[in-house]
């Protein structure tokens, strides 16, 4: 029997709710990797590195590791980044 990570399942469910409309999904010009998607999401968030780290619940040094490509974000971390960016984008449309 396959054991599923509860955090991954929760983030996946939230992602499905937030991105009901396929047109809201982020499109990448190249085959996505954890690094290229992270770069798109990080730039798209418009957050300073310390604010981005706080929103992710990680240290600034971890974000710097991702940016330098020494450390790769996990699938759960990428899902959380997508949700953060969607929340920021939604807030801009409301304001």
Q: What is the mean pLDDT of the chain?
A: 79
Triad 63, 31, 82: Cα angle to 5°: 45
pLDDT tens digits, one per residue of 11-38: 777 777 666 655 555 554 556 688 888 8
53-93 per-position pLDDT tens digit: 999 999 999 999 999 999 999 988 998 998 888 887 777 65
In the block, tokens 């330098």 appear at 68
Residue 92 has what pLDDT? 66
Task: Return d(Cα 88, Cα 7) in angstroms, integer.
Answer: 21
pTM, two decimals, is: 0.64
Domain residue ranges of the chain, discontinuous segments joined by +: 43-95
Centroid of chain to Cα 78 = 4
């Amino acid at each position: 029997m396959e054991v599923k990570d509860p955090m991954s399942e929760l983030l996946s469910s939230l992602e499905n709710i937030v991105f009901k409309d396929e047109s809201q999904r982020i499109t990448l010009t190249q085959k996505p990797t954890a690094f290229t998607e992270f770069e798109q999401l990080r730039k798209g968030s418009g957050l300073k590195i310390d604010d981005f780290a706080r929103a992710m619940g990680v240290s600034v040094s971890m974000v710097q590791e991702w940016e330098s490509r020494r450390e790769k974000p996990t699938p759960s971390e990428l899902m959380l980044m997508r949700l953060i960016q969607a929340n920021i984008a939604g807030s801009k449309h409301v304001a």
